[in-house]
Amino acid sequence: MSRPETSAPPEVFYSDVESKKYTSSSRIQHIQASMTLRALDLLSLPPHQHILDIGCGSGLSGEILSQEGDHIWAGMDISPSMLGVALDRDTQGDLFLADMGSGIPFRAGTFDAAISISAIQWLCNADSAGADPKRRLARFFDTLYASLRRGGKVACQFYPRDQAQTDSILQAAKTAGFSGGLVVDDEQSKKNKKFYLILTAGVTTASDINLQGVKIDRPRTQSTRRISRKDESRKDYIARKKETMRKRGKLVALDSAFSGRKRRPKF
């Protein structure tokens, strides 16, 4: 069976017929609810948060956001048909027609958190001659980071085609400035295996997020990235360079943990 994202662009694949079929399936409803609840469990959010649902579709995940914690949410999706079904179902969130690969179209610091269920793997495909998956991933994570308040959290459930896609997604998130890790549920099951990318935009503590052992690393600050040699002695400069090389060696080791061979890799 072919994967949906390899069949056609999402706005084409999720036609009026497919959108209604998808939303009315009791099996899909159950799976979507289960994954959304799992994402919220991993994020450990307090009630009444402002949440962005990326790839919200017909609002199945949004229903859970409204029911669990009475969250206020906005949803964005590229499929007009999916959003049309969401409107017909009278969902409680604000809905926006937008392509996540073109960036998150909200001002800085708008949201406390973001979730995405079964969506970001679509960014890894070149649906048109001008589409560059690497640039789309970078634009998505860069603008997502900006749209979150300091310490904002993200849970993205996705279905990678292979390890290369997983690595591309993880690298794009890291480059954008996120800290976090990958949680894999039912790792030994081909049918039920689920990937959750859990991120934080800024400093957080272990008690703020439920990562079941995934470590949240302190992100590098702007000042540590742009230290001028003029502002330090030669001795301090050499010491800083040695520390940078030591940390890079550590990062390489952590990157290798993303291979999927461990249950809870970290970065």
> Under 8 Å CB-to-CB from 93, ≥6 apart: which residues?
53, 56, 59, 62, 65, 66, 72, 73, 74, 75
109 CB neighbour count, 10 Å cutoff: 13
**Residue 220: what pLDDT?**
40
Least confident of 5-19, 117-131, 229-243: 229-243
Average pLDDT over residues 229-233: 53
What gap in Å lies between CA 140 and CA 102, rounded to an integer? 7
Please answer whether residues 179 and 219 qualify as being in contact, where contact means their C-beta atoms are separated by less than 8 angstroms: yes
Range 203-206, long-range pairs (CB < 8 A, 24+ positions): 203/151, 204/151, 204/153, 204/179
pLDDT at 267: 43
pLDDT at 15: 85
5-14, 132-141, 186-195: the lowest-pLDDT one: 5-14
What pLDDT score was predicted for residue 218? 39
**How far apart (Å, rounded) are the C-alpha atoms in residues 221 and 178?**
11
Do residues 200 and 241 touch, judged by C-beta distance below 8 A? no
Contact, 194 vs 184, CB < 8 A? Answer: yes
| CATH number assigned to the domain with residue range 4-259, chosen from the 4 options 3.40.50.740, 3.40.50.150, 4.10.520.10, 3.40.50.2000 | 3.40.50.150
Residue pLDDT, tens place only, 24-37:
999 999 999 999 99
Output 155 or 7, whichever has higher pLDDT: 155
Of the listed ranges 114-123, 131-140, 173-182, 230-239, the one predicted with least confidence = 230-239
pLDDT, tens only, 143-161: 999 999 999 999 999 999 9
pLDDT of 184: 95
DSSP state letters, 143-190: HHHHHEEEEEEEEEEE--SSHHHHHHHHHHHHHHT-EEEEEEESTT-T
The predicted-structure confidence for 12-24, as pLDDT tens digits, reads as follows 777 889 999 989 9
Strand partners, 266: 181
Specify the pLDDT at position 259: 39
- In the predicted model, is pLDDT for residue 265 greater than 50? no
What rounded mean pLDDT belongs to the chain?
A: 81
Going from N- to C-terminal start, the domains of the chain cover 4-259
Task: Answer whether residue 10 shows pLDDT above 60.
Answer: yes
Residue 175 has pLDDT above 90, yes or no: yes
| Token output for 71 | 């969250």
Instruction: Give residue 216's pLDDT.
Output: 39
pTM: 0.74
Predicted pLDDT at 13 = 75
